[in-house]
Amino acid sequence: MQAQEAIKELSYDNTAYGGKCTKEVRETAINALEKQNQKKPVYIGGDGIRYTDLYRCPNCGQGFTGTGIADYCYHCGQKLDWSE
Protein backbone atom coordinates (compact mmCIF):
# COMPACT_ATOMS: atom_id res chain seq x y z
CA MET A 1 0.00 0.00 0.00
CA GLN A 2 1.33 3.43 -0.96
CA ALA A 3 1.43 6.29 1.54
CA GLN A 4 -1.39 8.18 -0.22
CA GLU A 5 -3.63 5.09 -0.15
CA ALA A 6 -2.95 4.62 3.56
CA ILE A 7 -3.72 8.29 4.25
CA LYS A 8 -7.00 7.97 2.38
CA GLU A 9 -7.94 4.83 4.30
CA LEU A 10 -7.03 6.38 7.65
CA SER A 11 -8.92 9.59 6.85
CA TYR A 12 -12.28 7.82 7.06
CA ASP A 13 -14.21 7.86 10.30
CA ASN A 14 -13.98 5.20 13.02
CA THR A 15 -14.48 2.40 10.47
CA ALA A 16 -10.85 2.65 9.29
CA TYR A 17 -9.13 -0.69 9.57
CA GLY A 18 -12.19 -2.36 11.06
CA GLY A 19 -12.68 0.30 13.74
CA LYS A 20 -9.48 -0.76 15.49
CA CYS A 21 -7.80 2.65 15.24
CA THR A 22 -8.47 5.39 17.74
CA LYS A 23 -8.64 8.99 16.55
CA GLU A 24 -5.21 9.73 18.05
CA VAL A 25 -3.61 6.72 16.34
CA ARG A 26 -5.14 7.70 12.99
CA GLU A 27 -3.93 11.32 13.30
CA THR A 28 -0.41 10.22 14.27
CA ALA A 29 -0.25 7.76 11.38
CA ILE A 30 -1.52 10.35 8.88
CA ASN A 31 1.06 12.92 10.08
CA ALA A 32 3.88 10.38 9.73
CA LEU A 33 2.74 9.33 6.26
CA GLU A 34 2.41 12.93 5.08
CA LYS A 35 6.03 13.59 6.10
CA GLN A 36 7.09 10.95 3.56
CA ASN A 37 5.94 13.23 0.73
CA GLN A 38 9.02 15.20 -0.32
CA LYS A 39 8.91 18.96 0.16
CA LYS A 40 11.47 21.52 -0.91
CA PRO A 41 13.27 23.29 1.94
CA VAL A 42 12.68 27.03 2.11
CA TYR A 43 15.81 29.02 1.22
CA ILE A 44 16.44 31.85 3.67
CA GLY A 45 19.84 33.07 2.49
CA GLY A 46 23.54 32.81 3.18
CA ASP A 47 24.90 33.36 6.65
CA GLY A 48 28.44 34.24 5.53
CA ILE A 49 30.03 31.50 7.59
CA ARG A 50 32.04 29.05 5.47
CA TYR A 51 29.84 29.75 2.46
CA THR A 52 26.84 27.92 3.88
CA ASP A 53 23.22 28.62 3.09
CA LEU A 54 20.34 28.83 5.55
CA TYR A 55 17.16 26.84 5.00
CA ARG A 56 13.91 26.36 6.87
CA CYS A 57 11.90 23.14 7.00
CA PRO A 58 8.60 23.53 5.07
CA ASN A 59 6.81 21.44 7.71
CA CYS A 60 8.02 22.56 11.15
CA GLY A 61 9.78 25.84 10.26
CA GLN A 62 13.00 24.96 12.07
CA GLY A 63 16.22 26.21 10.50
CA PHE A 64 19.29 24.34 9.29
CA THR A 65 22.35 25.08 7.18
CA GLY A 66 23.91 23.58 4.05
CA THR A 67 22.65 22.22 0.75
CA GLY A 68 21.67 18.62 0.22
CA ILE A 69 23.01 17.74 3.65
CA ALA A 70 20.09 15.65 4.84
CA ASP A 71 17.29 13.70 3.25
CA TYR A 72 15.05 14.43 6.25
CA CYS A 73 14.55 17.38 8.61
CA TYR A 74 16.56 16.89 11.79
CA HIS A 75 13.73 18.32 13.88
CA CYS A 76 10.50 16.76 12.61
CA GLY A 77 11.44 14.06 10.08
CA GLN A 78 9.95 15.73 6.98
CA LYS A 79 11.44 14.23 3.80
CA LEU A 80 13.30 16.94 1.87
CA ASP A 81 13.53 17.39 -1.89
CA TRP A 82 16.84 18.97 -2.96
CA SER A 83 16.23 18.68 -6.71
CA GLU A 84 16.35 21.82 -8.82
59 closest CA partner among 35, 43, 82:
35
CA dihedral defined by 77, 79, 73, 29, rounded to 10 degrees?
-20
In the predicted structure, residue 47 carries a pLDDT above the cut 70: no
- Which run of H or of E encompasses 46? strand 42-46
State the chain's mean pLDDT as an integer: 79
Q: How far apart are CA 71 and CA 27, in angstroms?
A: 24
CB contact set of 73 (below 8 Å; sequence gap of 6+): 57, 59, 60, 62, 64, 80
Q: Is the pLDDT of residue 17 over 80?
A: no
